Each structure stands twice: as C-alpha cells, then as structure tokens.
C-alpha cells in the first residue's frame, strides 16, 4: 500500500505564497500612503498656506485701493502727505506677506508669475514715492492725477494677478483632491482584491485539508478493515493449527504408541518361544519410534523453526529448501551475494516466514515448476527475493491472507515489501530490511 503523501510541503508552499502576498500588498500600501502623504504635505498643505498669504496680499491691496479712493475724494482736510504713514504700514505688511508667499508658493508656479508680482509691486511703490514727492513740492493736483491714471491701474493689475494666483491654487487643490480620491479608491480596490485572494487561498487550503483528511480516513478505514480481517484469519489459523495438532496427537501418536505398547506385550510373551520373530518385531518397533520422532520434529518445526536459534537464518534456509523441493517437486535455485553477516533472531524469523509463505504460494497458486531464492547483503539493508515463472499476481493479490501477513511482518521490522509481476511472467516477492533493524556483528 502506497504511503499517503504528507501535506506539509503543500501547506508550507501555501504559507509562503500567503506571506509573499501580504508582504507585497503591505509594501504597495505603504508606497501608496507615502505618496499620499507627500501629495498632501507637498501640494495641498503648501497650496493652502500660499492661498492664505495671497488672501493677505489681496487684503492689503484692497486697503491700498481704499486709501487711494480717500485721497482722490478729498473729503478729509488733510494734504496727500498725511496718507504717507498709512501707506508705509501697508507696504511693510505687504512686503512681509510677499516674502512669506515666495517661500511657500507651489513648485509648479511659473517663474514669470513670481517675477511679475515682484516687479509690479516695485513699480507701484516707485510710482507712489513720486506721487508723494509731487505732493510735498505742492503739486497735489498733479499727484492726484497720477493716482487716478497710473497708481490705481497698477493696483488693479496687481490685484488681478493675485486673484489669478488664487484661482490657480484652487484648481491645483481640486486636482490634488482628485488624485487623493484616486489613491483612496485604488487602496480600497486593492483591499477588496486582497481580501478576496486571501479568502480564495483559505478556501483552497481548507478544501485541500478536507480532501487529504478524507483520503487519510479512507485509508485508515481500509487499513483497519485489513487489520480486522488479519486478526480474524490469524485466530482462525490458530484454531486450525491447534485442531491439526490435536488430531495428529490423537490419531497418529496415540495409535502409534498404542501399537508400540501392544507389540511390546506380544514380544514379552514370545521372548522365550521365538527369538527371531522377537528381533523382527523389535526392528518394526524401532522404525515406528523413528517415524514418530520424525513427525514430532516436523510438528515442532511447523510451530516454530528452532533451527533458526541453532544455526541461524542461512543454515535454516539451506536445510529448508531441499525439503521443500522433495515435498513439492519444484526446483528451487538459491543465490547469495554480498558480505554475509549475522542477522538478529527477531528479524530472521520474519525473513524466514516471508520466504516460507512465498514458496508455499508458489506451490499452491503459481503453476510453476521452478523458483528462485536470492539473498543479498547490502551495506544499508538485507534483501530477500523469491521469484517464480508461473501465472503471476492477479488483480486482487493485495488481499490474500498470506500476503497480508507478509506485509505485517515487513512492518514489524520497518522493512518494505514489494509485490511485482515479472516482465517475462511469474511473480516476484521482495522484502527489504534496513540495517537499523538488525544487530550486525563483524
């Protein structure tokens, strides 16, 4: 019976695939989140800070516009130079806002836009200085004319440029928001895909374990049935053996001993009358006793081959094979190869029984008149092969009591039993016993 393949390798492969998928997904998610962080800190936050400063600049420009309107209306009884301190304060705040805005302005802003805003403000302050210079020289009418024709136009142009920058920042923020939503959508989609992949992997692993456990339980059930069958057959064989021994003791040995006793009584009566007849009777008694002794030895050998304990496995093999040939008429060839070594008695008995069972199967089922027994000593094992040239194994050769018994014996010595059909016909039984199951001696 083939050994069930362990699921450890496949489960480890599934674990490696799972860990790889988790690692890849985690790395991808970290990259996405870092990109999102850079997008938020590098674009959105910077863009909002720049917009706040642009609003501050725009507020200062509006203050300039209101101051110029008051200067042109002339509703206040003050000369134009009275507004100089207010313009100076607005200019200080405006230049501070411009400097801060230049530091946080978006990286994608055109250099020409930055230069235009700086140059326009410089021209505005130069024009304002000339207007105040005219007012100080008493030419307030000309100064108001310049405010109306030049200074207000410059202020409106700067305000328009700042408004354009604010619109541009809003558009950039909207684009960044769209990208962030895209990143979140991608991460969410990947989460769903990852969860689905993990569920599929868990499902496949569970199905594999269910399939493996079901197959394992089926094999255990078959093995249990075989063990139960073997136990029943062993019990039946034991009872048959005991019945046979009982019959042999009752019929053969009882009759033989009865006959011996009768003959001894007859001899004792005729001892003085016919000495020659007495000698013939004594020879007959001797033959009967010898025959009885041979039967007792055969019965003892059937119960347990004591010869294994006396001369070892090879000696028992040399004595058993000639007797098997005489009883069955099957010619058995014996070959031995490798450096011989002593085999542990616990292993030798199973080797002997497997050889015996294989030869008995040849005699009963193979229809072959030739057989071969090969014993090979290898560095790591001992190999026993029994081969014939008969009809070979049938389709149900794995369920016979003898073959089941041989398999059980192979398991007892941690060996492997191979049952094969030869290429040229016949059957081959091979028992391989590892060296770890033996007590080897030099």
Q: Let me know the angle formed at the C-alpha of 185 by 180 and 186, rounded to the nearest 5 degrees.
A: 95
- Return the pLDDT at 442: 32
- Return the pLDDT at 89: 94
The continuous run of DSSP H or E covering 427 comes out as strand 427-434
- Return the pLDDT at 272: 61
**Phi-psi domain of 178 (left: phi exceeds 0; alpha: psi -120 through 50; beta: other):** alpha
C-alpha R_g of the chain:
56
Domain spans, the chain? 8-208, 307-437
Domain 307-437 has CATH 3.30.479.30: no
Is residue 41 within 8 Å of residue 53, measured between CB atoms? no
User: pLDDT tens digit string along 307-333?
Assistant: 777 788 888 888 888 888 888 899 999
Q: Please name the residues in contact with 332: beta carbons below 8 A apart, sequence gap of 6 or more.
A: 321, 324, 325, 359, 370, 371, 372, 373
Tokens 């590892």 belong to residue: 434
Rounded CA-CA distance 68/393 in Å is 118
- Return the pLDDT at 257: 64
Per 3-state DSSP, the chain is made up of helix, strand and coil in percentages (nearest 5) of 75, 10, 15
- Return the pLDDT at 276: 67
* C-alpha closest to that of 255 among 206, 294, 296, 292: 292
Tokens of 3: 């050994």
SS3 392: coil
- Return the pLDDT at 199: 85
- Return the pLDDT at 375: 93
Tokens 């008051």 belong to residue: 70
- Return the pLDDT at 423: 66
Tokens 């040399």 belong to residue: 318
Rounded CA-CA distance 31/25 in Å is 10
User: pLDDT tens digit string along 172-182?
Assistant: 778 777 777 77
| Domain 8-208, CATH | 1.20.1330
Rounded CA-CA distance 404/230 in Å is 7
Q: What is the DSSP string of 10-47?
A: HHHHHHHHHHHHHHHHHHHHHHHHHHHHHHIIIIIHHH
Low-confidence ranges of the chain (pLDDT < 70): 1-7, 35-42, 74-77, 228, 231-232, 234-236, 238-240, 242-255, 257-258, 261, 263-279, 281, 286, 293-294, 296-306, 394-400, 423-424, 437-442
- Return the pLDDT at 2: 43
- Return the pLDDT at 28: 74
Is residue 324 within 8 Å of residue 332, measured between CB atoms? yes
């Amino acid at each position: 019976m083939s050994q069930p393949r362990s699921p450890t390798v496949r489960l480890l492969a599934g674990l490696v695939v799972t860990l790889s998928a988790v690692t890849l997904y985690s790395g991808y998610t970290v990259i996405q989140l870092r990109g999102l962080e850079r997008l938020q800190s590098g674009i959105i936050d910077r863009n909002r800070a720049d917009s706040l400063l642009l609003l501050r600049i725009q507020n200062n420009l509006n203050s300039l516009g209101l101051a110029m309107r008051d200067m042109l209306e002339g509703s206040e009884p003050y000369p134009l130079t009275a507004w100089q301190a207010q313009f100076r304060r607005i200019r200080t705040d405006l230049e501070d806002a411009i400097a801060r805005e230049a530091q946080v302005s978006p990286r994608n802003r055109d250099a020409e836009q930055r230069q235009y805003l700086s140059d326009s403000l410089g021209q505005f302050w130069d024009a304002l200085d000339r207007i105040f210079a005219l007012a100080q020289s008493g030419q307030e009418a000309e100064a108001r004319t310049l405010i109306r024709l030049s200074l207000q136009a410059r202020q409106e142009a700067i305000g328009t440029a700042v408004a354009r920058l604010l619109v541009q920042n809003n558009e950039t923020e909207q684009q960044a928001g769209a990208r962030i939503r895209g990143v979140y959508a991608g991460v969410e989609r990947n989460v769903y895909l990852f969860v689905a992949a993990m569920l599929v992997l868990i499902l496949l692993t569970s199905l594999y374990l269910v399939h493996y456990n079901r197959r394992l339980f089926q094999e255990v059930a078959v093995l249990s049935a075989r063990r139960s069958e073997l136990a029943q057959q062993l019990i039946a064989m034991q009872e048959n053996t005991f019945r046979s021994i009982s019959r042999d003791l009752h019929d053969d040995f009882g009759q033989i001993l009865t006959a011996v006793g009768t003959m001894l009584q007859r001899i004792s009566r005729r001892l003085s009358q016919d000495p020659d007849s007495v000698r013939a009777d004594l020879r007959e008694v001797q033959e009967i006793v010898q025959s009885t002794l041979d039967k007792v030895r055969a019965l003892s050998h059937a119960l347990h081959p004591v010869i294994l304990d006396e001369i070892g496995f090879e000696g028992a093999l040399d004595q058993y094979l000639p007797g098997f040939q005489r009883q069955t008429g099957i010619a058995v060839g014996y070959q031995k190869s490798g450096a011989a070594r002593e085999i542990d008695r616990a292993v030798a008995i199973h080797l002997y029984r497997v050889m015996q069972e294989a030869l008995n199967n040849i005699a009963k089922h193979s229809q072959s008149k030739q057989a071969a027994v090969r014993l090979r000593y290898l560095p790591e094992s001992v190999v026993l092969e029994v081969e014939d040239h008969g009809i070979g194994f049938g389709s149900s050769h794995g369920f016979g009591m003898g073959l089941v018994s041989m398999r059980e014996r192979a398991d007892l010595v941690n060996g492997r039993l191979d049952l094969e059909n030869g290429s040229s016909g016949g059957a081959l039984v091979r028992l391989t016993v590892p060296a770890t199951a033996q007590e080897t001696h030099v």
